[in-house]
Copies of this chain bind each other. A is one copy, B any other.
Amino acid sequence: MGRSRTRARVTLSDVAAESGVSTITVSRALREPHRVSAPLRERIDAAVEALGYVPNLAAQALASQHTNVIGVLIPSVTNNVFSDLLSAIYDTVSHTRFQIQLANTQYSVSEEEKLVRIFLNQRPAGLVVTGIDQSAACRQLLSEANCPVIQIMETAPDPIDMMVGFSHYDGAARAARHLIEKGYRRIGFIGARMDPRTQRRMEGCLSVLDAFGMLDRDLVSTTEEISSVNLGAAMLGALVDRRPDLDAVFTNNDDLALGALFECQRRAIAVPDALGICGFNDLEMVRASAPSLTSVDTRRGEMGQRAMTMLMDAIEGKRPQKRVVDLSSTVIARQSTARGTRDDPAR
């Protein structure tokens, strides 16, 4: 209490009174201008302007039984990976009639299910969910939803509705093959948090190492802790202490890779000659480091943009030809793996 008084809010009927028509006509003039005669439209627009009318979203939602809200569920707001994605999502949606409502599942499927339930009850225009590891109940809810749903970050053969992402397994497999091609032989793996996508990356990496007869479980280091640069440094340090013969690591993401690089610098381990490092996600910063870090580009900006375009199209009734868009991923070879066997060393 105690703050200044509310100015009486301007409603549709105020605008109607001002322009001498009924409320429904104002409502139509705003939503379907072509269905209202030109002179009326002008009078109404003028009245809206003069009175400073702003629609009441709650009333719209209640009356029409739908909203312009696109719900976006991501596991974390801190992770750099998602901030790139979010940025693209916001950009794509700005200047459309839709608004983003962001929710945070904290990597919990039960939290995700709870949030989906809440969102669905508010009749969103569309929903974006991260990954493919929803609970059975959540999948059920989403497939019965009366709005388009798009899963992002991953691909799989059984989309709930639509999907745009890439195979984490394949991306990591590419990274492993890259390290092998560069001549590394005792290749380790460092992973943190170990959420489902992280695990699939690990599997992709290990399967390739196995296929080449190079799999050594003792070179695999994982933790449930949240990924960070400092953690990458600590994990690389521990791994090298235990296995000084390690000659390359694939880290589950770029934070860990950068930490690993720093630890190498501290220990005077030569990168890439004594140790190769490959990260994942290709964050902006790994291009800048010295040496620059090899990473896997996952085109998150394009992913966010495509996801929102597909979703908004679907909301307008334009269903995509293909419900699953695979953006794939690409190894960006840089100095940290440029030991050079067949490729020329990076600049």
Task: Convert A199-234 into 0s and 1s, putting 1 for each residue whose CB lies closer than 8 angstroms to a CB of B.
Answer: 000000000000000000000000000001110110
Query: Which among A5-13, A21-29, A174-182, A321-329 touches the partner chain?
Result: A5-13
Q: Are B121 and A54 in contact (CB under 8 A)?
A: yes
Q: Report the Cα distance A100→B310, complex, angstroms.
A: 26
CB distance from A150 to the nearest CB of B (A): 13
CB distance from A287 to the nearest CB of B (A): 6
Is A136's beta carbon under 8 Å from chain B? no
Q: Are A56 and B121 in contact (CB under 8 A)?
A: yes
Q: Are A232 and B104 in contact (CB under 8 A)?
A: no
CB distance from A135 to the nearest CB of B (A): 15
A143 — nearest CB in chain B belongs to which residue? B4
Q: Are A287 and B84 in contact (CB under 8 A)?
A: no
CB distance from A235 to the nearest CB of B (A): 12
Chain B residues with CB under 8 A of A6: 144, 146
Is A243's beta carbon under 8 Å from chain B? no
CB distance from A226 to the nearest CB of B (A): 10
Within 8 A of B (CB), among A59-104: 59, 61-62, 67, 76-78, 80, 83-84, 86-87, 90, 94, 100-102, 104
Is A57's beta carbon under 8 Å from chain B? yes
Given A56-B121, A101-B101, are A1 and B317 also a contact pair (CB < 8 Å)?
yes
Chain B residues with CB under 8 A of A147: 3
Q: Report the Cα distance A147→B100, complex, angstroms.
A: 22
CB distance from A52 to the nearest CB of B (A): 8
Q: Report the Cα distance A289→B232, complex, angstroms.
A: 11
Interface residues of A (CB under 8 A from B): 1-7, 9, 54-59, 61-62, 67, 76-78, 80, 83-84, 86-87, 90, 94, 100-102, 104, 117-118, 121-122, 143-148, 161, 228-230, 232-233, 255, 258-259, 262-263, 265-266, 284-285, 287-290, 317, 319
